[in-house]
Amino acid sequence: TCSLLRSPKGFPRLKNDTFLRAARGEETEYTPVWCMRQAGRYLPEFRETRASQDFFATCQSPKLCCELTLQPLRRFPLDAAIIFSDILVVPQALGMEVVMVPGKGPMFTEPLKEVEDLLKLRQKVDVTAELGYVFQAITLTRHSLEGKVPLIGFSGAPWTLMSYMIEGGGSTTMAKAKSWLYRHPEASHQLLRLLTNVIIDYLVGQVAAGAQALQLFESHAGHLGPELFQDFALPYIRDIAQAVKSKLKEKALPLVPMIIFAKDAHYALRNLAHAGYEVVGLDWTIRPQEARAQIGKDVTLQGNLDPCALYAPKEKIGELVKKMLESFGTQRYIANLGHGLYPDMNPEHVGAFVEAVHAHSRHINKH
C-alpha cells in the first residue's frame, strides 16, 4: 500500500539485488529482467486506477505513481521497478504547458517556434520546487516496495526533450526540431545545455529521494545521423553521466548504476560504451553479438526483444527468449524489450516473457 505516513529515509533492506549486480558487472545466478513501460495500459488495473484522472495529474500524485509502479510487481516476478512518471515533466519544469490528448499523445500548447522563444523558458530551475512530486513518489514507492526489488528513476535526454518542445508533440520526421540544429546551432546548444543542467539536478534529486538506478531515454536518437548525434546528443549524454556522478559523490549519496538507452543509435554504440554509463540499452534492430562486439566486455547490455514478439504464442516467446539469452550470454546482461510495452498486449504474455528469462538463464548457467 502507498500510504504517505512513512519517514522519508530508513528504507527497507533490499532482498533481491540481481538487477543492480548485473548492472555493475557482478556475477548473477540468473539474468534479471524488467520491461520498459511495465506500469502501463496493458494492465486492466492500470486503466482502472487512471480512468478518471488527467495523465499529468496522475504524474503529480505520489500516491497514484506509487500504486501504478507497484501494479506490475504484484503480477510478475520482475527484478526491478521503474517509477511511474513521464519524460515531459522536465519541459513542464521549464515553464512549458503540456497536455495529454486522448488518442494523440502529449501536445505542447505553445511549442518553441523562434529562437526568441527560449527567453520564455525558466533559466534557473529549482527541481525540488518544480519536480518535488516525483521525488515524493520515489520515496513513497521505495518504502512501499519493502525491499522487494530496486527502484529505477529516469529522465528523457536533452535532444529527445528538445525535439518534443519544438515539434509540439510526436513527429515522424522531427523536421522542425532538426531544422533548428542546422539553422540555429548556437541556440540549439543553448537549449540543450539548459535541459542538461535541469536533468543533472533532477537525476541527483531522484537518488536523494531513493532511486537505486537511473535510466536516460534518448528515444529520438534514430532521427539523428552520426554527425548530428556526435554534435548535439553525445556531449550532453556524457556530461550528464559525469556530472551526476560527481554531484552524488559531493553529496555523499550512493553512486547508483546509470543506463543509457538511445533508440536506433547503433551507429553510436562504440561512443555510448565510453560515455560513462554502466549499462547500454539496446533496441531490437541490432544483433546481440554485434552489440557485444562494439560495446566490449566492460559495460552491461540491456534489451532487446522486439516488443511485438509478445504477440506470439507463449511457447514461441520462450524460444525467442532462449535464443536472445544464448546470443547475449547470461552475465553482464539485463533482459528487457527493445522498447516499451504496447497497450494492447496480453499481460499473460508479459508473464511468459519474464518467466522464460528466469528459467532459461538459470538453465544456461547450470550447464
User: CB of 198 within 8 A of CB of 216?
Assistant: no
Residue 362 in domain: yes
Query: Per-residue pLDDT averaged across 305-323, rounded?
Result: 98
Per-residue pLDDT, 52 = 83
Per-residue pLDDT, 2 = 79
Residue 2 in domain: no
Per-residue pLDDT, 350 = 98
Percent share of the chain, pLDDT over 70:
98
Residue 28 in domain: no
Alpha-carbon distance values, 47 to 38, 39, 58, 75, 214 (Å): 13, 10, 12, 15, 26
pLDDT in tens, 125-137: 999 999 999 999 9
Per-residue pLDDT, 201 = 98
**What's the sign of the alpha-carbon dihedral 161, 268, 207, 47?**
positive
Secondary structure (3-state) at 63: helix
- Tally of structural domains, the chain: 1
Examine the pLDDT at 6 and tell me if it is beyond 90: no
pLDDT in tens, 233-287: 999 999 999 999 999 999 999 999 999 999 999 999 999 999 999 999 999 999 9
The answer to whether the predicted template modeling score (pTM) of the entire model surpasses 0.85 is yes
Residue 27 in domain: no
Q: Which residues of 67-78 are buried (b: 16+ CB within 10 A; e: fewer)?
A: bbbbbbbeebeb
Per-residue pLDDT, 4 = 65
Residue 184 belongs to domain spanning: 33-366
- Helix (H) / strand (E) element for 280: namely strand 279-281
357 band by pLDDT with thresholds 50, 70 and 90: very high
Residue 360 in domain: yes
Reading the block at residue 82, the C-alpha cell is: 521503474
Gap between the Cα atoms of 1 and 39, Å rounded: 16
Percent share of the chain, pLDDT over 90:
96
92 band by pLDDT with thresholds 50, 70 and 90: very high
pLDDT in tens, 133-169: 999 999 999 999 999 999 999 999 999 999 999 999 9
**What's the sign of the alpha-carbon dihedral 103, 108, 110, 113?**
negative
For the annotated catalytic residues, the residue numbers are: 37, 41, 50, 86, 164
Query: Per-residue pLDDT averaged across 188-208, rounded?
Result: 98
Gap between the Cα atoms of 323 and 116, Å rounded: 52
Query: Per-residue pLDDT averaged across 11-30, rounded?
Result: 98
Phi, psi at 107, each rounded to 5°: -130, 135
51 band by pLDDT with thresholds 50, 70 and 90: confident
110 band by pLDDT with thresholds 50, 70 and 90: very high
pLDDT in tens, 34-50: 999 999 999 999 999 99
Q: What is the CATH number of the domain that holds 231?
A: 3.20.20.210
Please provide the average confidence, as pLDDT, over all residues in the chain.
Answer: 97
pLDDT in tens, 180-189: 999 999 999 9
User: CB of 187 within 8 A of CB of 115?
Assistant: yes
Helices (H) and strands (E) in the chain, counts: 15, 9
Residue 25 in domain: no
Secondary structure (3-state) at 5: coil
Gap between the Cα atoms of 208 and 203, Å rounded: 9
